[in-house]
Amino acid sequence: MILSTHAIVGGAIASLFPLHPAAAAIAGFASHFAIDAIPHWDYPLHSISLGKGANNRRLSFSRATLRDLSIIGIDACAGLGLALWMFAAEGSIWTIAIGASTAMLPDALQFAHTLYPRGLLHVLQRFHWWIHSKRALTGLFGVGSQLAFAGTIAVLARNIH
């Protein structure tokens, strides 16, 4: 799923135990894989590749790369901002930020794997590929269903406490 959705889910989970940042970190990280297993939409990248066998070691600094990086950056910042805005209360800001960030982290590790496909990174990447849904949703239905998913999680989490 897109980074914003991961951040919202990670933040929502972290909001359930605002005083336990370590638990929020672990649960946020695990949530990434759990929701990637659901068929979903992802925006296309034009320069950076993340698929199986992807190799970004020769990534050039082109317009397309800059565009990809901007989209990823906006997506991540929007996700972190939304998670903090929706779930952070006094005293829990750091826990929410940790949950949202660790929920996005596996995709950063996925990129790291395209540069260095070895060791623990490779083990994790194999799991990520294995669990990631093979069914890609497209078009308006893809975007809409992911928006609805993130919205539902946010409303549920806000109503639990």
Amino acid code (one letter) for 106 = P
CB closer to Zn ion out of 17 and 71: 71
Closer by beta carbon to Zn ion, 68 or else 107: 107
User: Smallest gap, in angstroms, from Cβ of residue 43 to Zn ion?
Assistant: 13
Say how far apart CA 7 and CA 150 lie, in whole Å: 9
Binding site for Zn ion (CB under 5 A): 36, 107
Residue nearest to Zn ion (CB): 36
Minimum Å distance from CB 73 to Zn ion?
17
- Rounded Cα–Cα distance for residues 111 and 114 (Å): 5
CB of 138 vs Zn ion, minimal distance in Å: 18
Task: Please name the residues in contact with 93: beta carbons below 8 A apart, sequence gap of 6 or more.
Answer: 84
Task: Tell the smallest beta-carbon distance from residue 50 to Zn ion (Å).
Answer: 8
Q: What is the C-alpha to C-alpha distance for residues 144 and 139, in angstroms, rounded to an integer?
A: 9
Whichever of 17 and 38 has its CB closer to Zn ion, that residue is: 38
CA dihedral (74, 53, 30, 69) in degrees, to 10, reads -10
Query: What whole-number distance in Å separates Cα of residue 103 and Cα of residue 75?
Result: 13
**Closer residue to Zn ion in complex, CB, 36/68:** 36
